[in-house]
Structure 1
């Protein structure tokens, strides 16, 4: 009779020294998930329910919102938490299903690179967004820009 190993049996025994990164990753997923629920539902409530609702969402609305430091930090917190949360989830999937050590390493590096690049670009967009660029034609500027 052939014996089949129990699911999720580690290929090698777990380390007993140092920081348990899997435990902290697990805790991060739970904490960031709860914080993300608050951030996302707050974002949706302000964008869809407050004021004129969905009819009010246009370039001027987004430009006005991103010119406020409170909403900049709100959106950056949502971006960072969501990308790190998703990257950690993808890392867990790679650990569960990628069998070869090399392919697992390549996939984890690709996930890290994607998350890092998206965090950098998203943060730059939020903090450098200018709804009233200098030299733009007046008919293309939002109504709250000083050129109008």
Structure 2
């Protein structure tokens, strides 16, 4: 048996037999979004490494270490605008980085458009809620609330 070298071999596209045509995805309209999302993951990941390891070093290694981390420690730390912004940037980048990663997983594994849309809607709503609540906590945190009972106020607050 001899095979001609001029014969064309046809190979089916991956997953071509598994996905029904009614679930076929449209390729239009994405533009540069996926490339920018890919780039964001690399940049935010590098920045998060610096933010997180500095956060861990300051909280766990400096001073009395982990034994000093309590309500007063956090209150003192968040009294400084530097640490408020530091923690805010860390929160926002971590949430956006994680949300983008889960979005990619949903796009990879959810076959139906309705399933993809539902899962991503839940993801985006949860991410926005966490970002908004976290931001509010960082900027509205008051260790010495006015009018609180004396037994509920921390030792460092003036009565």
User: Which structure is larger by alpha-carbon Rg, 1 or 2?
Assistant: 2
Question: 1:6 matched to which residue of 2?
Answer: 14
Aligned length: 142
Q: Which segments of structure 1 move beyond 3 Å, counting only runs of 4 or more?
A: 11-15
Question: 2:68 matched to which residue of 1?
Answer: 56
With normalisation by structure 1, the TM-score equals 0.88
Question: Unaligned 5+ residue runs, structure 1?
Answer: none
With normalisation by structure 2, the TM-score equals 0.82
Change (3 A) 1:12 1:114: closer
Q: CA deviation at 1:12?
A: 5.6
CA distance in 2 between partners of 1:18 and 1:98 (Å): 18
Question: 1:125 matched to which residue of 2?
Answer: 137
Change (3 A) 1:53 1:104: same
Question: Unaligned 5+ residue runs, structure 2?
Answer: 1-10, 17-23
Q: CA deviation at 1:141?
A: 2.0
Once the two structures are superposed, the pairs formed by residues 27-46 of structure 1 within 5 Å of their partners are 27-46=39-58
Change (3 A) 1:12 1:55: closer
CA distance in 2 between partners of 1:33 and 1:100 (Å): 30
